[in-house]
Amino acid sequence: MDELLVPASNRKHLLLGNEAVVRGAMEGNVRFVAAYPGTPSSEIIDRFSRLAEEAGVYVEYSVNEKVSMETACAAALSGVRSLCSMKHVGLNVAADAFMTLAYVGVRAGMVMVVADDPSLHSSQNEQDNRAYAKMAGVPMLEPSTPEEAREMTLSGLDLSEAYRIPCMLRTTTRVNHSRGPVRLGELPREKPTASFTKDPFNLVVVPMVGRKLRLALMEKEKMLREEAEKSPFNFVTGQGENGIITSGVSWLYVQDALRDLGLEGKVKVLKLGFTHPMPRKLVGNFLRGVGKVLVVEELEPFLEEAVKGIAQEEEIPVKIVGKGEQWIPRAFELDSVKVKRAVARCFQVPYDPPTIFSAPELPARPPTLCPGCPHRATYFSVRKVFGDEAVYPTDIGCYTLGVLPPLRMADFLVCMGSSVSTAGGFSRVLDRPVVAFIGDSTFFHGGIPGLINAVSHDHRFLLVILDNGTTAMTGHQPHPGVEWTRRGRIEPAVRIEDVVRGCGVKKVALVNPLQMKKTQEVLEDLRRQMKDPGVSVLIAKSPCPLFERRMTGKKQKIVFKVQGDCDRCKRCLRELGCPAFVWEASAAGEECIRINEALCNGCAFCAQMCPSIKPEKIEG
């Protein structure tokens, strides 16, 4: 039995925050889940996918976040509790649905998990999505721990159903990817029956319906504020003249700071878990009881501005501090030391910050494309043909690592799908060749409208679709073009080539990038054709080796070795940058190039660029 489906018991389980969300959803009888993976949210959909059959839950990897939200809301509208999850920037993609779904609402409970990534561990920005809850007017819960993630997912479903509005569960990386003891509650057994009653004057948002729903949303917000006032997720601990207001993971840093500073129980702490709509009375009463308040939160001054507004409106003479260089930083994650410093300063208690030892300057260890990764081969050949002159807009996935030396094959990136549309813009104004890169999953997610646009406006660029058969970066999730599954090879639901042709692209070529000569010939040909206007597409198709091995169980048969006739030109190091290559001293004391057998994946690409590299059979 899946660990997340075991019956309620007294024993606590050490669950990841994301697993706790799944358990909470199961306890809340969620039967419909849709998501596009994205760090730090991916384990939510992955864990749902694993237990789907056993638990009787419909789970789909949607093509993007907007699609996932729309798909899941239809289930909730039909009386089936649903959940969608996404990383913070995924909500930008889903925002169109999000803003108006708040108006229309749902019938059964619906929770939207939105995972922010302060410090940009795996993201392109660190936007604070709490602003979205306020903008849309939906209720928002912010867990601090895995246990709260479970409770709030369950409670968010009830709240959503009671007020017929989706509920946002806003997490951060340190909640999603923390493990903590979680109590397992009861799992309901009754299966909901779906039904739909036509009600177009509440469900079809034409302006006259929208106007009515706008007013209804404001009424809901008032009632939800009352819920926040009495929510058990908002509570006060400690006592004294000094106050702290905090939420999410910051609450944990506050606890450690107070303990270490000897202030445990001596500072009044308002811990907010239900943060939109803001419980105004609760905050007002808290402010009246203290002389000075420090607001401790990551990223934007979301709580701080609300608290200052309440103090002003209620005419409460209290000093409130929060964001500031000497106080709580706005950029990046907090930690207990940053919080200790601010707390000590605010309440004037002594604090000796730890002496920080410094390490000498050390060689960096950046993440790199794996040995045998077909993206490296594609980049090598494209650079060979298009050189430094071309502009290379890129996109989001493993292949973004191509930005690093020695490949340096990325010139511009803002978001999922931006490679294709920006290539159009660049090619219109620049007198240089433009070659854009996008991965297979990202192409389905956000690349197709840009491609249609490029075709219809005759933009002149080459789009290279790096098709490795999976969503590799986030952990090998499926997408519509997947051919390999654990059950063997399948006919893909949607072929990339068909989509490209369907978008109106006339010049389409398909290569296996691990075949160097053929790939470069095709690229030369495409380059010549770029004299004429119009977009051309090269599909560079070769499976992610990690994924392929996992799916097929295929064993590696050969490794490659550098022979004695190597002239040490170092082209392999300078141009290819495969992590299996090592520059070292030989037994005779001479510098030489070696291929680390344990890392070599046997892809054979290097042997096509250098005659001194030869295959060798793996014994046994």
Residues that bind other proteins (CB under 8 A): 12, 14, 16, 39-40, 42-43, 121-122, 145, 173-174, 177-181, 249, 251-253, 255-256, 259, 333, 335-338, 353-360, 362-370, 398, 401, 405-406, 473-474, 570, 573-574, 577, 579, 581-583, 596
CB nearer other proteins, residue 8 or residue 162: 8
| CB of 575 vs other proteins, minimal distance in Å | 11
| CB of 266 vs other proteins, minimal distance in Å | 17
| CB of 166 vs other proteins, minimal distance in Å | 26
| CB of 211 vs other proteins, minimal distance in Å | 43
Pairs from 551-556 (Cβ < 8 Å, separation ≥ 24): 551/484, 551/485, 551/486, 552/484, 556/601, 556/602, 556/618
Place of tokens 């930008």: 92
Nearest-angstrom CA–CA distance, 549 and 499: 27
| CB of 582 vs other proteins, minimal distance in Å | 5
CB nearer other proteins, residue 119 or residue 529: 119
Under 8 Å between Cβ of 595 and 561? yes
CB nearer other proteins, residue 391 or residue 401: 401
Under 8 Å between Cβ of 454 and 461? yes
CB nearer other proteins, residue 138 or residue 603: 603
| CB of 252 vs other proteins, minimal distance in Å | 4
On the 0-12 / 13-18 / 19+ scale of CB atoms within 10 A, 142 is buried
CB nearer other proteins, residue 356 or residue 429: 356
CB nearer other proteins, residue 64 or residue 145: 145
| CB of 564 vs other proteins, minimal distance in Å | 20
| CB of 326 vs other proteins, minimal distance in Å | 18
The two structure tokens encoding residue 340: 């200790």
| CB of 584 vs other proteins, minimal distance in Å | 8
H or E stretch including 167? strand 167-172
User: Dihedral sign, CA of 450, 456, 461, 462?
Assistant: positive
Nearest-angstrom CA–CA distance, 66 and 512: 32
Beta bridge partners of 14: 181
Q: How far is CA 337 from CA 126, 201, 296, 299, in A?
A: 21, 55, 13, 16
Least Cα distance to 376 among 595, 603, 538 occurs for 603
Beta bridge partners of 35: 61, 85
| CB of 172 vs other proteins, minimal distance in Å | 10
Q: How far is CA 22 from CA 2, 51, 66, 183, 616, in A?
A: 12, 10, 20, 13, 47
CB nearer other proteins, residue 201 or residue 235: 235
Under 8 Å between Cβ of 39 and 117? yes
The two structure tokens encoding residue 388: 């430094």
CB nearer other proteins, residue 267 or residue 462: 267
CB nearer other proteins, residue 92 or residue 145: 145
CB nearer other proteins, residue 405 or residue 488: 405
**Cβ neighbours of residue 312 closer than 8 Å, sequence gap 6 or more:** none
User: Dihedral sign, CA of 452, 453, 454, 455?
Assistant: positive
Per the rule left: phi > 0, alpha: psi between -120 and 50, beta: everything else, 130 is alpha
CB nearer other proteins, residue 32 or residue 36: 36
Q: How far is CA 288 from CA 268, 284, 304, 317, 323, in A?
A: 12, 6, 16, 8, 21
Q: How far is CA 336 from CA 235, 251, 348, in A?
A: 21, 10, 17
Number of Cα atoms under 13 Å in the Cβ half of residue 263: 26
The two structure tokens encoding residue 607: 């042997």
| CB of 365 vs other proteins, minimal distance in Å | 4
Give the 3-state secondary structure of residue 140: strand
Count CB atoms within 10 A of the CB of residue 619: 4
CB nearer other proteins, residue 72 or residue 254: 254
Q: DSSP label at 431?
A: S
Give the 3-state secondary structure of residue 105: coil
DSSP E strands: which ranges in 530-607? 536-541, 558-562, 581-585, 591-595
CB nearer other proteins, residue 43 or residue 126: 43
| CB of 3 vs other proteins, minimal distance in Å | 9
CB nearer other proteins, residue 50 or residue 179: 179
| CB of 420 vs other proteins, minimal distance in Å | 23
CB nearer other proteins, residue 121 or residue 554: 121
| CB of 142 vs other proteins, minimal distance in Å | 15
Pairing type for strands 613-617 and 558-562 reads antiparallel
| CB of 425 vs other proteins, minimal distance in Å | 27
